[in-house]
Chain A
Amino acid sequence: MSKKKVTLKILALLIASDILETAIHFFFKKSVLAESSFQVTNVSSAALFIKTAFSSPYLWAGLFVVVCVFIVWSTILSKIDLSVAVPIASFSYILVPLVSIIFLHEQISLLRWAGIIFILFGVALVSLSSKERIA
């Protein structure tokens, strides 16, 4: 089943999905930022950890964005092939580290950037192979 090529509208949706995907993980990270020294040793402390996380509005914002991404992603996949969509959408592997540096003040070594590029490249290869299978 061949689908139409990437139009400007699809590209906009793909970029939106990248940004939303990044937002999910940013929100999830924010929701547990205050819990970094929280010790989980047994079931009740684990339950308390989860309860505290779920009481953060960031977590619910993240879950809301999960639903948004699902809708955007379903729209994208109804228009173009997965093998084309995934490599473009994998831009979040770059976006998340950038957001981590800018908003969370994390530090990323050169070696880690190299690893990120490898992952990005690998994801592109894996998704291109789905095209191979269909063709």
Chain B
Amino acid sequence: MQTPLFLILFLIALTSLCDTINQLFLKSTIDSLNFQPTFNILKILKFIWRLVRIPRLWIGFIFSVISLCIWLFVLSKSDLNFAFSADSMHYIFIALASGLILKEHISRLRLVGTLVIVLGIILVSL
């Protein structure tokens, strides 16, 4: 039995959504630590150690595990080249989440790029 295309696309959207939620948790966890970029390995390790003790990070991690499980199911039902290309829709979710939740400024160039990706996904799905 062939899995319908809309179901596959819905599931890919779901993995992208889970990935985006993971990224948001990761971003907010990292921001809360006020970390300054450094090349000092010891400082980086210390930073990671502080990071992994924040529960919010693990909530994000749970979402990335869910994303992996859905992704495996998608891959079992569709061609790799299609699934991989369609997975670029996480750029759309990231742009939406950055603008709406993180209140970041979305430049015109980014908007155009995101729309071009949407167009690409539509072509790939045809």
Contacts and interface: CB of A to CB of B under 8 A. Distances in A.
B81 A133 contact: no
Interface in B57-74: 69, 71-73
A93 B82 CA distance: 10
Contacts of B45: none
Given A116-B85, A125-B109, A133-B105, A96 B80 contact: yes
B99 interface: no
A86 to B, nearest CB: 10
Interface in A5-51: 25-26, 28-29, 31-33, 35-40, 46, 49-50
B126 to A, nearest CB: 6
Contacts of A128: 109, 113
Interface in B1-23: 1
A78 B44 CA distance: 12
A93 to B, nearest CB: 7
A37 B52 CA distance: 39
A25 B109 CA distance: 29
A106 B91 contact: no
Given A125-B112, A132-B109, A117 B120 contact: yes
